[in-house]
Amino acid sequence: MEVCPYLQETFKILGRSWNGLILHYLSTCPEHKAHFSQLKKDLQPITNRALSIKLTELADRGLITKHVISETPSSVCYHLTQKGIDLAQALKPLEDWAHHHVTLEDHG
């Protein structure tokens, strides 16, 4: 049996650290968008550099778009594209599975 090349490409995206969490996070935000600072705060312990790299990767794949808001001070907002929304929706059954089968360990 041959492995589906489309699924392989999808796992190349989701298999990279933070990508799936960023997509899921944006899918839960109003209008599927969030500012860089909001992402950084809520996705701790991701570093500024790692977040920037991941957002660029997702934008390069057409899953999110970047909007620079030219206020003072300027800020950057990231939106899921329809392609990103579709992928985030495909993750919902995985989230449901995780709620039923994954045990969270107390690392506190």
The percent of residues in the chain predicted with pLDDT above 90, rounded, is 88
Q: Which amino acid is at 75?
A: S
- pLDDT at 107 exceeding the cut of 60: no
DSSP string, 4-54: PHHHHHHHHHHTSTTHHHHHHHHHHSGGGEEEHHHHHHHTTT--HHHHHHH
pTM, two decimal places: 0.88
Model confidence over 33-65: pLDDT tens digits?
A: 999 999 999 999 999 999 999 999 999 999 999
pLDDT tier for residue 104 given thresholds of 50, 70 and 90: confident
Residue 1's pLDDT is what? 84
Handedness of CA 88, 92, 93, 99 (dihedral sign): positive
In the chain the domains, ranked by start, together with CATH numbers, are 8-94 (1.10.10.10)
Residue 69's pLDDT is what? 86
Question: Left, alpha or beta for 76 (phi > 0: left; psi -120 to 50: alpha)?
Answer: beta
